[in-house]
Structure formats: C-alpha cells, structure tokens
Structure 1
Amino acid sequence: MTLRKLILGPWRAVLVLGVTQILAWGILFYPPVLMMPLIAAERGWSLSFAMAGFSLALLVAGFVAPTIGGLIDRHGGHVVMAVGSLIGACGIALLPFAAHPAAYLAVWTILGIAIAGNLYDPAFATLGRIFGTAARKPITYLTLAGGFASTVSWPATQVSLTFTDWRGTYLFFAAILLLVAAPLHAFALPRTRADPPPAVEGTVTIVPAVVPARGMIFFLVAAAFATYAFIPSGLAAHLIAMFGRAGIDPAVAVTIGALFGPSQVAARVCELAFGGRAHPLNLARFSVALMLSGFALLALFGFTLPAAIAFAILFGAANGLLTIARGAVPLALFGADGYGRVLGRIAKPYQVTQAIAPLALAFVVERGGDAPALAVTAAFGVVSLICLAAIRRPKS
C-alpha cells in the first residue's frame, strides 16, 4: 500500500482512530485512578463516593451504547464520534466546578455518554461501516495503538500534576478533546461506507454465513463478553493491592503491573502476524483459556514473584487478544449490516459488568480475603469460556 493510498483511502481511518483512541482512553478512562484520591481529599468525600462517579459513567455508557452504535450505522463515525468528543470535552471541563455531590454525579452521567461515543466500541463500529466484513485486520491494527493508551496516559497525567493541580489537568484534557480529537473525527475520518461485492452473472459468490443477531447465539456471545468483563475491571482496581498484601514490595508490584500494557500489544502483534486465519471464535476461546491458565498458576504457586510476573503477562496477553475478538466475533457471526448497533447491544451488559466489578470484588476482599476474590474472578472466566464453547459457527 502506497503512502498516498494510506492517507487518501479508507485505511486513513485506522491512523485517525489510532490517535484519537489513545487520547480518549488516556483522558476519559485511565486518569481517575490518579485523580480520584485528589478529588476526594479536596471535596471532603470518601474515595468510594468519588469512584462511584466513574462507575456511574460506565453504567450510563452501557445503556446508551446500542443507540450510539445505531447512530454510527446511519450517520458514520465522523459525525457521532466528533459529537462524542465534544460531549467529553464539556464533561471534563465541568468536573473541576462540580463541587456538590449531585452536580458531580451529573457530570459523570455526561461523561458516560462521552465514553460510549469515544472508546473501542464506536471505533470498531466506524471501521465496520467503512470496511464491512473486511474490518478484522483494521480492528487489529487499531488495538495496537490503543494498547499504548495507559502507557501514555498515566505518565502524562502525573507530569501534568507536577505543573498544576487536578483541576488544571482536567481543563488541559478538555482542551485536547475539543481541539484535537473532535476535529480529527469530524474532518479526517473517511465518510465512505463498504458496499457488498457486486454480483457477476454466471458466477456464484460465496460470502461468510451469518446468523441473526438474536436468540441463543446472540445471548451466548453477549454473556461471554459480559462475564469476561468482570476480570479486567475487577483486577485493575485490586491486583496491585493484592500483590502488596502478599508481601511483594510496592515498587516491584507496580513494575509487575506495568507488564500488562506491553503484553497486550505483544499479543496483538502475534495475532496480526500469525492469527489472521483463525476464526474469531477460536481467538476468543484461546484468550479466555489463557487468562484461566494464569489463575491456575496463582492457585498452584500463590503470589510468589515468578507467579505474579507470569500472571501479569498472561493477563495482559489474554486481554489484548480478547479486545480484538470483541470486535471480530460479532462481525463474523452477525455480519456487517447493522454492525454498530449489534456492538452496542453487546457493549451494554459488558459495560454494566465492568462498572459493578470493582465494587463487588472489594466486597468479597473485605469479607473473605484475596483468595476467595480470585476464585470468584476466575469463576467468571470459566462461565465466559463455557458460553464461547457453546457457540456453534454457522456453515459457509
């Protein structure tokens, strides 16, 4: 592919979304881990209440996701994601001024709409609209860029906090969404829509068989991803603390946690190089099985340093692959027609589980300790794998 075709053709969408995904994840999703203690301390709130705002945003994102996906099907990501960036800029800019608890929760409700309009699901829907059934490879390339979001976001947030406070940092982030992400979505994303291949008289065109996005198969797909969502969301909030309680030095624990991002990217590179011929269902099954092998290591060896390192690598690799599968499985099973809304319907229970997981796992940790919490988390993985194993691929 020439540079001219890359810039002027549909693949420009991958470049544009690669940049905006790093910005969106780095502004809307990752900073709360660093910001919430500061907000809670200044406002005089509990850390649980401060984090409840973020959980509320994820719940709202789940409920509006089907609508966002349907709008992308009709109008394109260049319209819907641009509006999502503007809503995100508005919400982020209002956060420093939301001193009342009700106003604070109202702002996070706005940010929930922004999350639904900016992160992976709308980006995948946009690529599905542009590339049709050929969107799997663009989705994989996009996740390579998205895998660096945490690597960029946390250091950038920390650096910003050394020059200003959390208020100034959020206002700076709002300006980035307003002046960089929104214009890129509005003016740089391709407006094309994939067309089905034309029928040629006297020939038979073989297309992938798809099933309706309803019934048992759809339920199993949505349930598989929703139950899996409990694992990364719950562990992201508790895993480093678990390492510390197991006696691992805090600095070492943070270093182990930092292996998550590079492992995601490495797994996605391997999928791009070697896994393109594998059916997305098999990719999803392998991802969850890889995650469960990490839990098996912890069950056998405990939180020893080698087991913790291995778990972090397996955790990152599995999550990296399953992110691709979240976009590729619905495309392979249900087709490109209405893909955005289908993704949104799958995202709804996914986001709800993602919002509930940190609080639910905190409840288990407080009452039973780390071992029962890990067992509960692994049980969600087992359910996810059972759902994926029960899905039967349609015959071509």
Structure 2
Amino acid sequence: MSFASRTSDFFAGPWRAVVFLGVTQVLAWGAIYYTPVLMVPLIAAERGWSKAFTMGGYSLGILTAGIFARFIGSFIDRYGGHRVMPFGSLLGAAGLLALPHVESQIAYLAVWVVLGAAMSASLYDPAFATLGRIFGAAARRPITMLTLAGGLASTVSWPTTRALIDGVGWHNTYLIYAALLLFVAAPLHALMPRTRASVTPSPTPDGAPVPALLQPRGTAFALVVLAFAVYAFVPSGLLAHLLSMFGRAGIDPQTAVLLGMIFGPCQTLARLGEFTFARDVHPLTVARFAVASLLIGFALLAIFGLTTPVAIAFMLLFGISNGLITLCRGTVPLALFGAQGYGLTIGRIAGPALAIQSASPLIIAFVAERSSDLTAVALSGIAVALALVAFVLVPRPR
C-alpha cells in the first residue's frame, strides 16, 4: 500500500480524531487558559482595575467550566464531540473578540463566563469524552497520545503570546487567537469522526461475559472524585505563586525562571514514559505512583528546606506527577467505570476539580500572606497526601 493510500485511510478512520484534537488542544489551552498570566497585568493597567479583580475573572471562568462540565460530557455521550466541541471553539472565539472591548467590570466578568463555557467544551475533559465515545474501552492509547500533544500548549503559548504582545499589542493578540479558534479549531472539531464504539463488554474465550466494572456512584466513585479534586488544588494554586516563593527563599530570579521551565518538559516525558513502559499497568496504579512521587517532593521540602538543589528535585517530581495525573483524569475513569456514559462520568469528576482549581490560587495567596510560604506549601502537601489516601482506598474491579 502506498504512503498516500495509508495517509488517506488514516484520515478516513477514527485515529484522525487524535490528530485534530492534538491541534485544537494546543490552540484552546494556549488561547484561553494560559494567556491570562501575561494578559491580566496589561488589562488591569489599561482599565484601572486591581490585579486581584482582573485575575478573579479568570477564576470565574474556571468555576463556570466546572459547572458546565457534566452537561458537556453528557452532550458528547449523546451527540458526539464533532457536534459539541465546535461550539466550544466558537464561544472561545466570541469571548476573545469581546475581551479587548469591554469597559465595565460586569461586562468583563460576563465575558469570562462565556470563556468558561468555552473551556468546558474545548479542553482535556471534553476531548477525553470524545475519544471515549469514538474508541470505547480501547481509548487509553489515544488519550495518552493526545496528552503528549497537549503538553506542548504551555511551551508554545507563553513565548508566542509574549512575542505577539510585543509585536501587535494585547488587543490584537486576542483577535489573532480568536481567529485561530474560529477558522482552525472549530472546523477541525466539526471534521472529527462520527463513529461510536460499542460499549458492550466482549465475551471471554469460553463465552462467559466479562466481569462488571465499578458503578459510577457510591463510595468508589466518591473517592475518585475526591482524589482528583484535592489534587487539583496543588498545580493550580502552587504554580501561580511558586516562582515568587522561590524568590523569597533567596533563589535568584533567573534560576527561578529556569526552575519553572523544568515543569513542562517533565510532564511530557512522564506521559511518554507511561506510553512506552506502562501501557499494561492499570491506570489506578499509575495515579498512585504519580501522587506518591509528588508527596516525596513535599517531604524533601519539609526536611531540607527550599534550597536550589531541593527546588530542582521538587520541580522534577512535580512535573512527572502532574503529567501523569492529567493523563489519569482520562484513563482512570475509563478503566474503573467503563465506556458506557464515559462523557458524563468525566464531567462529574471534572466539576469539583475545576471548582477547587478556581479557588486555590486565592487560598494559597491568602495563607501565604497571613501566615507564611511554608504554611502554604504545607497545605498543598496535605492535599497531596489526602489525594494519595483516596487513590489507595479506591478498589480495582475484579
């Protein structure tokens, strides 16, 4: 078979969803989720608003994404990502077009509600739900490959956004990102496969049915929700303040920035390692390993303090842990609860995690200001320990 024929067969089949979603994930994360770090100070300065209020709009967007998550997952189960996710890109484009033009604080917050709805239909959770609908119980490998592509988002977004701001200003930067969502992401979402994998368990060789998976309710499901929710407190809250904490601990600014750059590549390497060496390991085991690794990082901070060598080790472990946990957000529910109603299951797990994620930067800032950086780090360590306990208590299906 010729290369052209193989390429044609690939894009005619379900695997094109991984390629299309890989592109749209980079665009959605880069345009909506990662830009506020650079944009918020500029918006606040131009409008005369406080940075706390301006960043509060972003937190409202994440909270809105959490509120809509279960509905988006249910819609994808019913109608497919090719019909639901284009609306996420269109809403994202509309919100980004509006941001440079809003003058009042109420309008600003309203735009972030729109962008929150866009995130709920554009980021990892709806993408996982879409792959679950297309590939069924075999979605683990496509999900892993998608997170490998999505891991490039922060690496690409921040330098690109910085260059665009310097070149055309923040207003036009948002317009460019809106155009990418409108003319690239939305069409790619609409062109994804419409096929739906069977979720009926395949019989075993002797004709007996496969043992039933866990039900997405009760104690086991509550433990999974708790584990992902309390873990979500850490990357969202700690990453927003970690570089400042490094500076207050005496680490020079250039070294602090280099430490921050470790995080992204470690996430990608961890996912590549899972794809290469742990594809036959149960996702629940991978999640336990990931959280335990980060807990070791917090133990190093508690024992040796925030020195440069310890900070390097911590960021390595943090990147590995977060890279694997992001992947497990898609694979653990699939392995435990199955492909039936997978989109709704993903949405129900994502809602509490996004709600905590929206509040955690403010909580960490409050604790660090009223007490100390050490207390804020200890609070994050407690959250990781609680996540590990919850993952350990989750039973595996027999």
Tell me whether the two structures share a fold, i.e. TM-score over 0.5: yes
Contact conserved, 2:140 with 2:331, CA < 8 A, in 1? Answer: yes
Q: Give per-residue Cα distances to partners, 1:319-345, cap 9 Å, x unaligned.
A: 000111110111111110110011000
Aligned to 1:103: 107
> Could you tell me how far 1:105 is from its partner in structure 2?
0.2
Aligned to 2:184: 180
Q: Give per-residue Cα distances to partners, 1:40-69, cap 9 Å, x unaligned.
A: 000001000000000000111001100000
**SS of the residue aligned with 1:165?**
helix
| Amino acid across the alignment from 2:342 | Y
Aligned to 1:23: 27
Task: Write the distance in 2 (CA, Å) between the matches of 1:135 and 1:117.
Answer: 19
Q: Give per-residue Cα distances to partners, 1:255-305, cap 9 Å, x unaligned.
A: 110110000000011000111111111111111001111111111221211
**SS of the residue aligned with 2:241?**
helix
Q: Which runs of 5+ in 2 are unaligned?
A: none
Aligned to 2:300: 297
Report the more deviating stretch, 33-42 or 4-13.
4-13
Aligned to 2:291: 288
Summarize the Cα distance change of 1:37–1:206 in structure 2 as closer, same or farther, 3 Å threshold.
same
> Could you tell me how far 1:162 is from its partner in structure 2?
1.1
Contact conserved, 2:259 with 2:311, CA < 8 A, in 1? Answer: yes
**SS of the residue aligned with 2:213?**
coil
Task: Write the distance in 1 (CA, Å) between the matches of 2:132 and 2:342.
Answer: 7
| Amino acid across the alignment from 1:360 | I
Summarize the Cα distance change of 1:169–1:205 in structure 2 as closer, same or farther, 3 Å threshold.
farther
Task: Write the distance in 2 (CA, Å) between the matches of 1:350 and 1:10.
Answer: 29
| Amino acid across the alignment from 1:43 | R
1:156 has 2:130 as partner: no
Contact conserved, 1:77 with 1:122, CA < 8 A, in 2? Answer: yes
Summarize the Cα distance change of 1:112–1:390 in structure 2 as closer, same or farther, 3 Å threshold.
same
Task: Write the distance in 2 (CA, Å) between the matches of 1:209 and 1:248.
Answer: 53
Q: Give per-residue Cα distances to partners, 1:203-242, cap 9 Å, x unaligned.
A: 4155363121111111000000000000100111000101
Aligned to 1:83: 87
Q: TM-score, normalised by structure 1?
A: 0.97
Aligned to 1:207: 210
Aligned to 1:118: 122
The counterpart of 2:321, out of the listed 318, 321, 331, is 318
Contact conserved, 1:62 with 1:350, CA < 8 A, in 2? Answer: yes
| Amino acid across the alignment from 2:374 | A
Contact conserved, 2:203 with 2:209, CA < 8 A, in 1? Answer: no
1:63 has 2:59 as partner: no
Contact conserved, 1:209 with 1:333, CA < 8 A, in 2? Answer: no
| Amino acid across the alignment from 1:141 | M
Contact conserved, 2:203 with 2:210, CA < 8 A, in 1? Answer: no
The counterpart of 1:138, out of the listed 138, 142, 162, is 142
1:220 has 2:223 as partner: yes
Summarize the Cα distance change of 1:202–1:168 in structure 2 as closer, same or farther, 3 Å threshold.
closer
Contact conserved, 1:208 with 1:332, CA < 8 A, in 2? Answer: no
Task: Write the distance in 2 (CA, Å) between the matches of 1:259 and 1:360.
Answer: 25
| Amino acid across the alignment from 1:354 | Q
Q: TM-score, normalised by structure 2?
A: 0.96
Contact conserved, 2:27 with 2:181, CA < 8 A, in 1? Answer: yes
| Amino acid across the alignment from 1:80 | V
Aligned to 2:358: 355
Task: Write the distance in 2 (CA, Å) between the matches of 1:150 and 1:260.
Answer: 10
Contact conserved, 1:80 with 1:117, CA < 8 A, in 2? Answer: yes
Contact conserved, 1:55 with 1:355, CA < 8 A, in 2? Answer: yes
Contact conserved, 2:20 with 2:189, CA < 8 A, in 1? Answer: yes
**SS of the residue aligned with 2:343?**
helix
The counterpart of 1:253, out of the listed 248, 253, 256, is 256
**SS of the residue aligned with 2:339?**
coil
Summarize the Cα distance change of 1:3–1:322 in structure 2 as closer, same or farther, 3 Å threshold.
same
| Amino acid across the alignment from 1:264 | Q
Aligned to 1:244: 247
| Amino acid across the alignment from 1:378 | G
Task: Write the distance in 1 (CA, Å) between the matches of 2:57 and 2:138.
Answer: 38
Contact conserved, 1:93 with 1:174, CA < 8 A, in 2? Answer: yes
Contact conserved, 1:199 with 1:205, CA < 8 A, in 2? Answer: no
Summarize the Cα distance change of 1:338–1:244 in structure 2 as closer, same or farther, 3 Å threshold.
same
Task: Write the distance in 1 (CA, Å) between the matches of 2:18 and 2:110.
Answer: 33
Structure 1 stretches of 4+ moved >6 Å = 197-202
**Alignment RMSD:** 1.5
1:271 has 2:285 as partner: no
Summarize the Cα distance change of 1:203–1:236 in structure 2 as closer, same or farther, 3 Å threshold.
same
> Could you tell me how far 1:4 is from its partner in structure 2?
3.8
Q: Which runs of 5+ in 1 are unaligned?
A: none
Summarize the Cα distance change of 1:206–1:265 in structure 2 as closer, same or farther, 3 Å threshold.
farther
